Chains A and B, each alone.
Chain A
Amino acid sequence: MKSGSNLERVLAAGQFAVTAECGPPRGADPEKVLKKAEFVKGNVDACNVTDNQTSVVRMSSLAGCLLVRQSGTEPLLQMVVRDRNRIALQSDLLGASALGVRNLLCLSGDHQKFGDDPQAKNVFDIDSIQLIHLVKTMRDDGVFPSGEKLDGAPKFFIGCAVNPFADPFEIRVPRFKLKADAGADFVQTQCIYNMDTFTRYMEEAKKMGLHERVKILAGVTPLKSVGMAKFMNKMVAGIDIPEPVIKRLADEPKEKQAAKGIEMCIEQIQQLKEMEGIAGVHVMAIEWEEKLNEIIGGAGLLPRPVVDEGETER
């Protein structure tokens, strides 16, 4: 075991993994996190805690992780390279590991232009792929990237994100391979709606054997309404919702669209579960955490397995 995290154990035991995510609040109230975490509890193997997503200032991811763990769920720390240079990144990694956080997701982060502080200075000292390499170096070689020896190496199950729907398509799998080469253990994909594009992506990834090197968790987000679908499709860079998906929702009366969205999400998880090379799902029910139980249960993925260290094969 590289980290001994629950997520790592579940995946190593060959079980279909489930993760979800919690966005920390825009304030210092711990109850907000604990309330969201209640909905997550028992439904997932680990829960991502986002790091100032869309560059909007929120409670720190590490603090959110500790609150999520306090409520009984294993946290997964998201870390972006937008706000911290390599000194701060290394230091926060050591701190997170010392506090028992075992899962990590290495990200670039949205440009600060999208948030409340577009005048902020951005850092991007290293990029997300180099962050993967940095963590792996610390974990496996017991040294800082500078070469200095660590007084206790951090333990992380190292994750990355991929977006199969960004451009240019032909570089998406090669870029995923770079993340594997840098040392990623698992990947969570951007929300998938276009299953055709995703299938093509997976074919390419499998040709390179990436599914054997990196555990692939397919990202899904239930759609609450046609409005949300159209908004995301138009406004969020790298989200691709094909017309037939939007139409299925649009064919429902307004008050039934949310239920339809959930039904479609469940269907999709079941399809993904049957796809070769998919090791789990990452369910991003954005500000809709209360539906996680219905979605994950509906997909037949409950209860979540309990895997002891001894049961895992590597």
Chain B
Amino acid sequence: MITGTPKPIEEILEMIEPYEKIIVAGCFGCVTVCRVGGEKEVQVLASTLRLAREAGGRPLEIREVCLERQCDPEYLDPMRPYVEDYQAVLSIACGAGIQFMAEKFARTPLLPGINTGFLGVTERQGEWAERCQGCGDCVLHLTGGICPVTRCAKSLFHGPCGGSVGGICEVSRDVPCGWQLIIDRLKALDQLENYGKLKPYKGWSSARDGGPRRIIREDMI
């Protein structure tokens, strides 16, 4: 899922400072699962903002909505009849959702209520960790199902580097060395022979380096 973290409330208050009437929009997708931008978070954020603004003597009118998804046009359309009655939309969906809404509602300012994080997993309640950088050229079959691009702090293709000690990455005591994980797993799978081969330079054009990406599935158009 796409993960994120809430922006500090002070930053949000500063963003909405010019407005008296806004929409706070959540999303039932990823951000609901990682509890940063779902229906409940919309309610909590809206009441916090209302209280803060009342205390400052400038009350704020908020319409609370939560869309099925902010990244699909069909779910944005229902907002169209009323969106222009408000001065801005504060969205707590991921960056993709926020931008898509901005594209669809050309005359309404869109404000981000969260910082979008990464493509990750729930390791345990309240803890998420990155697993994929969406580089567009998956090699997991060669690396024991563990991604060197994401899990190695230097995205090495022939790790581990000299900084790997006791399974920990040189970058931080809290970061497991991705290459130690790869090797442990290759060993467990009896596939260590995969390690001994030189890998071609990675083509980054399928990653963000090639410019904004697009997928076109002719069979679906």
Pick the contact of A178 from B172, B196, B204 — CB < 8 Å? Answer: B196
Q: Secondary structure at chain B's binding surface: helix, strand, loop or mixed? A: loop
For A129, the chain B residues whose CB sits under 8 A away are: 157-158, 198
For B162, the closest partner residue in chain A by CB is A163
Flag if B198 contacts A167 (CB, 8 Å).
no
Given A111-B170, A113-B171, A129-B198, A168 and B183 contact (CB-CB distance below 8 Å): yes
Q: What count of chain A residues pass the 8 Å CB interface test?
A: 34
- Partner among B155, B166, B183, B201 whose Cβ is within 8 Å of the Cβ of A171: B183
Stretch from A69-77, A120-128, A271-279 contacting the other chain: A120-128
> Complex formed: what's the CA distance from A161 to B162 in Å?
9
Q: CB distance B154 to A166 under 8 Å?
A: no
Interface residues of B in 171-221 (CB under 8 A from A): 171-172, 177, 180, 183, 195-196, 198-199, 201-202, 204
Complex Cα gap A168–B187 (Å): 12
Q: Per-residue 0/1 for B79-94: is the Cβ within 8 Å of any A Cβ (1 yes, 0 no)?
A: 0000000000000000
**A145-B201, A177-B196 are contacts. A237–B163 as well, Cβ < 8 Å?**
yes
Within 8 A of A (CB), among B110-133: none
| B161, CB-defined interface residue at 8 Å | yes
Docked pose: A182 CA to B158 CA in angstroms: 11
CB of A90 to closest CB in B, whole Å: 12
Task: State in angstroms the CA–CA spacing of A111 and B204 once bound together.
Answer: 20
Q: Is A133 an interface residue when CB atoms closer than 8 A count as contact?
A: yes
**In the complex where A111-B171, A113-B171, A168-B183 touch, is A238 in contact with B165 (Cβ < 8 A)?**
yes
Contact with A along B149-168 (1 / 0, CB 8 A): 00001111111111111110
Tell me, in angstroms, the Cα distance from A53 to B161 when the chains sit together. Answer: 15
A177 to B197, CA, bound (A): 10
Kindly supply a per-residue 1/0 record for chain A positions 138-175, scoring 1 wherever the CB is within 8 Å of any chain B CB and 0 otherwise: 00000001000000000000000111001110010011
